[in-house]
Amino acid sequence: MFYREAGQFKTSYRTDQAIFPILQDKIGLVAVLIFAAVIVPAIASEYILTTILVPFLVFSLAAIGLNILTGYCGQLSLGTGGFMACGAFFAFKLTTAFPDVNIIIVFLLAGLGTALVGVFFGIPSLRIKGFYLAVATLAAQFFLLWVFNKFDWWHNYSPSGVIAAPPRAVFGDFYITGTEAAPWAKYIFLLAFVAALALLAKNLVRSRIGRTWMAIRDMDIAAEIIGIRPMFAKLSAFAVSSFFIGISGALWAFIYTGSVEALAFEITRSFQVLFMIILGGLGSILGSFLGAAFIVLLPIVLNIGLQSIDSSISVALISHVEFMIFGALIIFFLIVEPHGLARLWQIGKEKLRLWPFPY
Amino acid sequence: MPQRRIAIWILAVPLVIAGLGLIFQGLAGAYPALYFTWGFFFEAMIGGLLQGVMYSLVALGFVLIFKASGIFNFAQGSLVLFAALTMVGFIEFGLHWILAAAITVAIMIAVAIAIERVVLRPMVNQAPIILFMATIGIFYFLDGFGQLIWGSDIKILNIGIPTDPQFFLEGVFEGGILINSFDMVAAAVGAVLVAVLAVFFHKTRIGRALRAVADDHQAALSVGIPLKTIWAIVWSVAGIVALVAGIMWGGKLGVQFSLALIAFKALPVLILGGFTSIPGAIVGGLIIGAGEQVAEVFLGPIIGGAIQDWFAYMLAMVFLLFRPQGLFGEKIIERV
């Protein structure tokens, strides 16, 4: 009834190709953004901000990055954790070497550095495909972590091997890292930053380069025959994907945890992000957000739920039951909707268009 | 021309080993920190080869399932852990280990049937990546389930395999070669397992059906091979292989959660040997095991130790650049 596009005429290609061609979607998005930017910081407690919303935004960015590579370009990668570590350590080295450079520029430079590393580890994708490539990207994961663990230069010779984010402000007194940073400031900064990057990603995948990625994903030989250069398409996907993942790694280290060691980016992190894009929806920017929200919330909900049933259960038992439920839920979701939450959302929208008179 | 290929292998392998030895001897001349003697080199090499057999034991389970159903079964590591945990659990009840192993085999078959029924059957015809994800779901579930039932403490699995190291060839090399007898037993078990699997695949009716399914699902269905039964059998066999791997690895490291992570050691073996080849899993394991060990011992001091984590992957990746389907994998034919 409310979600009708009747009467919204598109009189130019520009309006036809807008990101949100339907007026209600535009209003909805603006409403969500205003809600997230104005109302959430006012009502959310510090706990919700720091343990749910901040990691959600950081993971969303990582999921967007992996989705570009795996969902749009079809190159399965298990090296996400390694690339996140790259971003974190690059940003740390940059900001300790040049303390006067604005932190946003540091994050972007760390992303660019990670993009270079990503291109290097993307080279095997020109010859290796499918699961062989997935295992080959594990080389990146293990090698990069080894490098950051092994050489003390990366954490400025701190004896514990931990990098602690120095206090940095975006402008004036608006500190977003370090101990002075207020949770709402971190949250607002992340929201703006991630929204801007998500817009960039959305526009990239709608552009010429995004279409070449999708052509490669759907059938690489056919794409090659119609004149798409596989080398450029694959390596650019690796570069853009690593750029996003690197920035998310830097955000993880600087804004979410504040101090981090290389072990935080272990292989489980790669799988976590992979779960997000598969459950959220391969080849969908919205799906990256939905998947990130799901994976961030699930353990917290499980933990609270189990503890409210019986508060005397031991921690080890809870973690085992969590593992089981987590695995079972993943299998359940894959059986019910293999194309992820984004597809469910799409089906819901189709239904809503006809509601309440479906015939 | 299998004879010619075998001849090439027989000639090439000692040459490569000798070549590697000479390279390291040269390196040791350049870097005084590096210690090199031929006896030490062969000791590292043999230790690595035996270690490689252990990797192969895990990789075999992957290959079986990938061959028969095209599923990249990430859950193999957790099958290993689950089998080992179950067996130790029954031994702790006071059962003899053979009896415990027999019960565990039955349980692994039940697990396989459950996986086929609950997970795989509803997901027939999904994209490979979705099935891969589902096996990661199984991985989490089995990990949690096994530890929920049997607890998460480190357990000792002792079925009477000698573990003391022994010296060999003392007359040839100075000081002899030190080899762990447990590793030798493991290698023998691995050899027996491969032989049994080979006989099973080539001489029995079920084995022929398995190979038919591996070749072409549709053709196999059309001549009346029951695909679902075959999948249950393959997962059962993979479960039994996992039990053998679990006994061996559990005996070596103790039964604990990290046992599930040895799957990561099996992955480079897998891509090196090819996802679809049983001999590939063995040869890949030997190459990875020996390469890793020799690199750790002789290259590690130069570039700073602990390179075992990634060296196998790099080695496999370099191999793949030349043979994208692995050493023994089926040639990839691509059609539009």
Q: Which helix (H) or strand (E) holds A23?
A: helix A23-34
Which pLDDT does position A259 carry in this prediction? Answer: 83
Q: Each residue of A127-169: pLDDT tens digit?
A: 888 888 888 888 889 999 988 888 888 888 887 778 888 888 8
Share of chain B above pLDDT 90, in %: 10
Instruction: Count chain A–chain B contacts defined by CB atoms under 8 A.
Output: 141
Q: Each residue of B35-73: pLDDT tens digit?
A: 677 777 778 888 888 888 888 888 888 888 888 777 888
β-bridge mates for residue A175, sequence order: A169
One-letter-per-residue 3-state SS of B303-332:
HCCCCHHHHHHHHHHHHHHHCCCCCCCCCC
Mean pLDDT within B92-121: 90
CA dist., res. B257 & res. A16, Å (int): 55
Can you point out the beta strands (E) in chain B? 165-168, 177-180
The tokens 């503890």 sit on which residue? A307
CA dist., res. A11 & res. A17, Å (int): 11
Which pLDDT does position A246 carry in this prediction? Answer: 96
- Type of residue found at B43: E
Q: Is B144 on the interface with A (CB under 8 A)?
A: yes
- Type of residue found at B177: I
Q: Is pLDDT above 90 for A60?
A: yes
Cβ–Cβ < 8 Å for B25, B39: no
Cβ–Cβ < 8 Å for B264, B129: no
Cβ–Cβ < 8 Å for B277, B329: yes
- Type of residue found at B171: G
* Residues composing chain B: 336
Which pLDDT does position B168 carry in this prediction? Answer: 65
CA dist., res. B332 & res. B276, Å (int): 11
pTM over 0.90: no
CA dist., res. B143 & res. A196, Å (int): 39
Mean pLDDT within A25-30: 88
Q: Which of A77, A268, A330 should be substituted to probe chain B, the one whose Cβ sees the most B Cβ atoms within 10 Å?
A: A330
Q: Average pLDDT over chain A, rounded to whole?
A: 88
Please indicate whether, in this complex, the C-beta atoms of A132 and B271 are within 8 angstroms of each other. yes
Q: Is pLDDT above 60 for B220?
A: yes
Q: Which two tokens stand for residue B269?
A: 């073996």
CA quadruple B263, B266, B272, B274: dihedral sign: negative
Q: Is pLDDT above 90 for A80?
A: yes
Q: Each residue of B254-278: pLDDT tens digit?
A: 888 778 777 788 888 888 888 878 8
Name the 3-class secondary structure at A28: helix
Chain B residues with CB-CB distance to A146 below 8 A: 306-307, 309-310
Chain A residues with CB-CB distance to B267 below 8 A: 135, 138
Mean pLDDT within B22-42: 74
Q: Which of A76, A318, A320 should be substituted to probe chain B, the one whose Cβ sees the most B Cβ atoms within 10 Å?
A: A320
Q: Which two tokens stand for residue A233?
A: 């398409």
The tokens 């038992």 sit on which residue? A317
Q: Is B79 on the interface with A (CB under 8 A)?
A: no
Q: Which two tokens stand for residue A213?
A: 């990625």
Q: Is pLDDT above 90 for B178?
A: no
Please indicate whether, in this complex, the C-beta atoms of A323 and B128 are within 8 angstroms of each other. no
CA angle B209, B212, B213 (to 5 degrees): 90
Q: Is pLDDT above 80 for A103?
A: yes
β-bridge mates for residue B177, sequence order: B168
pLDDT band at A87 (very low <50, low <70, confident <90, very high): very high
Which pLDDT does position B311 carry in this prediction? Answer: 85
Please indicate whether, in this complex, the C-beta atoms of A331 and B119 are within 8 angstroms of each other. yes
Which pLDDT does position B170 carry in this prediction? Answer: 60
Which pLDDT does position B111 carry in this prediction? Answer: 93
Distance from CA of B280 to the nearest CA of A (A): 14
Q: Each residue of A258-315: pLDDT tens digit?
A: 888 888 898 889 988 998 998 898 889 999 999 999 999 988 888 888 888 777 777 7
The residues in B 293-312 lying below 8 A from A, measured between CB atoms, are 304-307, 309-310
The residue among A253, A262, A269 whose CA lies nearest residue A160 is A262
Instruction: Characterize the bridge pairing of strands B165-168 and B177-180.
Output: antiparallel
CA dist., res. A68 & res. A283, Å (int): 7
The residue among A356, A354, A358 whose CA lies nearest residue A6 is A354
Cβ–Cβ < 8 Å for A230, A126: yes
The residue among B92, B65, B233, B87 whose CA lies nearest residue B146 is B87
The residue that leads in pLDDT, A164 or A202, is A202
Query: In degrees rounded to 5, what are phi and psi of residue A55?
Result: -60, -35
Q: Which of A19-28, A156-165, B25-34, B184-193 has the lowest mean pLDDT?
A: B25-34
Contacts within 8 Å (CB) and 24+ apart, A216-220:
A216/A73, A216/A74, A217/A72, A217/A73, A217/A74, A217/A283, A218/A74, A219/B336, A220/A74, A220/A129
ipTM of model: 0.83
Residue in A136, A151, A329 closest to B317 by CB: A136
Peptide bond into B14 cis (omega under 30): no
Distance from CA of B315 to the nearest CA of A (A): 9
The residue that leads in pLDDT, B251 or A232, is A232
Distance from CA of B262 to the nearest CA of A (A): 13
Other beta carbons within 10 Å of A77 = 31
Q: Which two tokens stand for residue A61?
A: 């960015």
The residue that leads in pLDDT, A118 or B43, is A118
For A129, the closest chain B residue by CA position comes to: B324
Which pLDDT does position B34 carry in this prediction? Answer: 67
Which pLDDT does position B172 carry in this prediction? Answer: 62
CA dist., res. A190 & res. A37, Å (int): 10
pLDDT band at B173 (very low <50, low <70, confident <90, very high): low
- Helix count and strand count (H, E) for chain B: 13, 2
Q: Is pLDDT above 60 for B1?
A: no
Name the 3-class secondary structure at A101: coil
3-state helix, strand, coil in chain B (%, to 5): 75, 5, 20
Q: Which two tokens stand for residue B27?
A: 């390196």
For B90-108, give one letter per residue: b (16+ CB within 10 A) or e.
Answer: bbeeeeebeebbebbbebb
For A152, the closest chain B residue by CA position comes to: B304
CA dist., res. B36 & res. A79, Å (int): 35
* Chain centroid to CA A29: 19
CA dist., res. B190 & res. A177, Å (int): 54
The residue among B41, B16, B15, B36 whose CA lies nearest residue B26 is B36
CA quadruple A5, A9, A10, A15: dihedral sign: negative
